[in-house]
Chains A and B, each alone.
Chain A
Amino acid sequence: AQSVTQLDSQVPVFEEAPVELRCNYSSSVSVYLFWYVQYPNQGLQLLLKYLSGSTLVKGINGFEAEFNKSQTSFHLRKPSVHISDTAEYFCAVSGGGSNYKLTFGKGTLLTVNP
């Protein structure tokens, strides 16, 4: 079985400050890792994903994440946030092979204040 833990349910930051949203996962098989963002009253939009290769993954809107196999982590970072980054962020994992479902964390609400 797979699980995802997002360590912070809420993260308030000031505009132009850096931010890190933490995600840890557990799985008995090799995994694919994803970060999605959800704006109010909308569906989920993919920010970035890790399948294999370089452990530093760059995504849209200036976000990046680093896969750390030994620590089973996939933390999301942005060096300078904007008001428009205010949203809920979800870390997700899927197993390799024939496992096509996503297992999500509980989400982190990022609030960017002026």
Chain B
Amino acid sequence: KAGVTQTPRYLIKTRGQQVTLSCSPISGHRSVSWYQQTPGQGLQFLFEYFSETQRNKGNFPGRFSGRQFSNSRSEMNVSTLELGDSALYLCASSAGSSGNTIYFGEGSWLTVV
């Protein structure tokens, strides 16, 4: 079956703009989570959604937000982009129970100039 799909794969934005990233989870998975990966900070958890409800949230400013739709697809939005938001954003999905394998997509590369 198809894996986790993220779009777009690459994008360039200007400081102050906003961006929306999209994620389609593996069919049947109800949990979607988002991570930011940077060379300096490594992999950091942003938030996790299960059945359209945010269950967990990381330590990121309110400029970072997300949502999940009834078909489990998810979007994350970053408003008022800063240079430091340049990163690989990874979406992951799982069945949603503790200990379930979490499968990752290939990520969306965001460059802020």
Contacts and interface: CB of A to CB of B under 8 A. Distances in A.
Interface stretch (B40-48, B62-70, B72-80): B40-48
A90 B45 CA distance: 14
Given A42-B106, A43-B105, A98-B98, 12 more contacts: A32-B99, A41-B106, A43-B106, A44-B92, A44-B104, A49-B99, A100-B56, A101-B48, A101-B56, A102-B102, A105-B42, A107-B43
Interface residues of B, number: 26
Interface of B: 4, 31, 33, 35, 42-45, 48, 50, 55-56, 58, 90, 92, 94, 96, 98-99, 101-107
Contacts of B107: 42-43
B107 to A, nearest CB: 5
* Majority secondary structure, B binding face: strand
A15 to B, nearest CB: 27
20 contacts: A32-B98, A34-B102, A36-B104, A41-B106, A42-B106, A42-B107, A49-B99, A90-B43, A95-B98, A98-B55, A100-B56, A100-B94, A100-B96, A100-B98, A101-B33, A101-B45, A102-B35, A104-B42, A106-B42, A107-B42
A49 B48 contact: no
B66 to A, nearest CB: 13
B78 to A, nearest CB: 19
A46 B101 contact: yes
A94 interface: yes
Interface string A36-48: 1000011111100
Nearest to A96: B98
A103 B43 CA distance: 8
Contact of A46 (B99, B103, B106): B103
Nearest to A6: B42
Contact of A44 (B44, B90, B96): B90
